[in-house]
């Protein structure tokens, strides 16, 4: 069963900038898809379209059986809230809220706030001892893990990550990839936009974008993973 399906998706900015051109793509439930491509290839635009933060100029986007390309702003907001967990390269945590409160914020806009559940989500990403710290008191890797805990707290159908390790050192990159692998093993559907061949290598499939077109959908090339051998996984 397809969790995500893009059919003939095109995005035109203004009258002459074609960010995506007739993109067709399928992601099955439980699959991990990496989207790769050089700068300006349309990766961010594709992430915005998949993440319901923008609508295509033409074509359709089917997420969990719902066509999001025809929805209103309110419909897209509801889909983001109910079905998507967003992970950003820049983390985007609310600076005056603690790690715990940042996770609870996503709960608040989704449904019910449960402090114990938010605490457990942070423990699952190895931050049980840092829940009451502000983002400024956390390292980049820790902030990214708070961002992941926030994305996962509402049990989204699709986890959408934009360069999740782009601002992290090797050790923190390993920690984050550990979490992604664990999510994948538990059946989560992941779409990860990345520049990194190492990050892409963990995926089931890889879509390569060039000039707004999907030029290749293939198995990721093999990669020698060094980082994960250096440290112990937070999942044991």
**For binding to other proteins (CB under 8 A), which residues are involved?**
13, 44-45, 47-48, 51, 53-54, 74, 77-78, 80-82, 86, 88, 90, 92, 94-98, 101, 104-110, 113, 134, 150, 162
Smallest gap, in angstroms, from Cβ of residue 97 to other proteins? 5
Q: How far apart are CA 72 and CA 53, in angstroms?
A: 11
**Non-local CB neighbours of 154 within 8 Å, separated by 6+ positions:** 81, 82, 85, 106, 107, 110, 111
Smallest gap, in angstroms, from Cβ of residue 178 to other proteins? 24
Q: Which of 2, 34, 6 is nearest to 200 (CA)?
A: 34
Smallest gap, in angstroms, from Cβ of residue 108 to other proteins? 4
Closest to other proteins by CB, 159 or 178: 159
DSSP 27: E
Closest to other proteins by CB, 57 or 77: 77
Smallest gap, in angstroms, from Cβ of residue 36 to other proteins? 17
Smallest gap, in angstroms, from Cβ of residue 73 to other proteins? 8
Closest to other proteins by CB, 72 or 218: 72
Closest to other proteins by CB, 124 or 150: 150
Task: Give every strand in the sheet of 158-162, ordered side by side.
Answer: 84-87, 158-162, 189-193, 32-36, 205-210, 213-218
Smallest gap, in angstroms, from Cβ of residue 94 to other proteins? 5
Closest to other proteins by CB, 136 or 186: 136
Q: How many CB atoms lie within 10 A of CB 119?
A: 18
Closest to other proteins by CB, 22 or 44: 44
Q: How far apart are CA 45 and CA 11, in angstroms?
A: 8
- Kindly provide the b/e burial profile for residues 147-170, where b requires at least 16 CB atoms within 10 angstroms of the residue's own CB: bbbbbbbbebbbbbbbbbbbbbee
């Amino acid at each position: 069963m397809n969790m995500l399906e893009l059919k003939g998706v095109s995005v035109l900015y203004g009258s002459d900038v074609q960010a995506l051109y007739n993109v067709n793509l399928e992601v099955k439930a439980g699959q991990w898809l990496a989207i790769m491509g050089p700068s300006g290839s349309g990766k961010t635009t594709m992430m915005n379209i998949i993440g319901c933060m923008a609508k295509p100029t033409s074509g359709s986007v089917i997420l969990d059986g719902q066509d999001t390309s025809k929805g209103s702003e309110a419909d897209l907001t509801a889909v983001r809230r109910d079905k998507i967990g967003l992970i950003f390269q820049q983390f985007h945590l609310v600076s005056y809220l603690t790690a715990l409160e940042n996770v609870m914020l996503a709960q608040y806009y989704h449904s019910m706030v449960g402090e114990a559940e938010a605490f457990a989500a942070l423990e699952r990403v190895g931050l049980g001892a840092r829940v009451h710290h502000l983002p400024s008191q956390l390292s980049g890797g820790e902030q990214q893990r708070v961002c992941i805990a926030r994305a996962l707290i509402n049990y989204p159908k699709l986890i959408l990550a934009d360069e999740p390790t782009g601002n992290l050192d090797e050790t923190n990159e390993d920690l984050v990839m550990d979490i992604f692998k664990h999510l994948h093993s538990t059946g989560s559907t992941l779409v990860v936009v990345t520049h990194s061949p190492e990050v892409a290598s963990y995926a089931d499939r890889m879509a390569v974008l060039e000039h707004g077109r999907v030029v290749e959908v293939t198995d990721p090339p093999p990669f020698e993973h060094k980082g994960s051998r250096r440290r112990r996984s937070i999942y044991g």
